[in-house]
Amino acid sequence: MAAAVRFLPLLSGSTPFVFTLVLLLVSSPAFLIVIGTSAGGMPALTRLVAQLPATLPAAVLVVQHLAPESTGEPLVARLAAHTALHCQLATHEAPLQAGTIYLAPPDRHLLTRDDRLLVTKGPRENNYRPAADALFRSAAVAFDSQVVGVVLTGMLHDGTAGLDFIKRCGGVAVVQDPEAAEFPSMPESALRNVAVDYVIPLDQMGALLVDLVSGSTPSHKSIPHDLQVEAAIAERVMGNTEQVSQIGHQVPLTCPDCGGNLWEVNEGNVLRFRCHTGHAFTADALLECSQHEMEETLWVALRMMEERKNLLTSMASRGEGQWSMQQEERIEEIKRHINRLREFLLSGSENGNPMAEKK
């Protein structure tokens, strides 16, 4: 484990503006452990970090999906109450230190470069900020084979592509046993799409992580060019068409977040898409977005049909003879369309998926 030397100026005694240089030895981590979790994450994290010793030769970086308006400090305090590791909310340009847990702030991506943290408000990935995929990719590019990626309990798909990034750079992928996870969706997604190295119950995970980061440092592995490009896009907050064209080909789909064109990423084992502004999606996340957009569009269509019916009813009440009968026929026709659309929307909602296909 290497030792990095930093000089920090401190105000000296009672003499103002006189500074003293204090030599601090800071333990630079030999490994990174990166963790992604969502629903049910805090109880799982507290159980996991309680198993990690203060002498852990790794820094632990955590993405827990949080509401944008929330604060991470209570969560840091909760973690600190269960572990011997130092816990803190990640801050921009802070040095990485072994034996420390860094929690991503709400509504910010947590990245790393050159043994330092980067905290940015870049575009969402899989509709999340912070996103586990963004952290995992950044860690894999910065530390290659010296990264252990962990996916815990949570809903949907974040972390799946991230584990693939880590594996492609020579790192290790660990997933909580979905049968024991409070919300198994994230672990199950990872297992479906990535060659995971370890699937393990939470109570046994701490010992495994300690073992993985306590051995000899693995040999470095070359970083795939596409991951370097994507990491650079995330660090600069916004990409451009030239960059995204290097790693993918344009497809006839639009970004649900900004309405721009999407590119299908050429490399990797997980089907993914990016727009040139920086939004990124796995295929599953993009499908989820399109379902929500389609449902919203159909509710708008239902509202417009109801308004048209009301207008026709008012017109028919003021007319006479053949013209009035024609409006009545049009009213009956639009009522049939309204009933079909309402039945489709309501039956889908009752099935738990508003856009579930009717059999």
For 307, half-sphere exposure in the C-beta direction (CA atoms, 13 angstrom radius) is 6
27-213 CATH: 3.40.50.180
| Partners of 175 in beta bridges | 151, 199
Q: Cα–Cα distance between 129 and 135 in angstroms, integer?
A: 10
Quote the DSSP letter at residue 248.
Answer: E
158 catalytic? Reply is yes
Q: How confident is the model at residue 237, as a pLDDT?
A: 62
Q: How confident is the model at residue 177, as a pLDDT?
A: 98
Which has the closest alpha carbon to 96: 120, 76, 118?
Answer: 118
Q: How confident is the model at residue 349, as a pLDDT?
A: 54
Q: How confident is the model at residue 42, as a pLDDT?
A: 95
From 133, 158, 197, 284, the catalytic residue? 158
Q: How confident is the model at residue 313, as a pLDDT?
A: 87
Q: How confident is the model at residue 5, as a pLDDT?
A: 38
Which has the closest alpha carbon to 68: 115, 28, 108, 37?
Answer: 108
257 catalytic? Reply is no
Q: How confident is the model at residue 17, as a pLDDT?
A: 36
Please give the structure tokens belonging to residue 16: 């103002």
249 catalytic? Reply is no
Q: What is the mean pLDDT of each run of 10 residues along the chain (359 residues)?
A: 38 38 56 97 97 96 93 93 97 96 96 94 93 97 96 95 97 97 97 97 97 87 93 80 92 92 94 93 90 82 88 82 82 88 74 45
From 38, 133, 276, 284, the catalytic residue? 38
Q: How confident is the model at residue 299, as a pLDDT?
A: 84
**Per-domain residue ranges for the chain?**
27-213, 295-350
339: which residues sit within 8 A by CB, 6+ positions away?
none
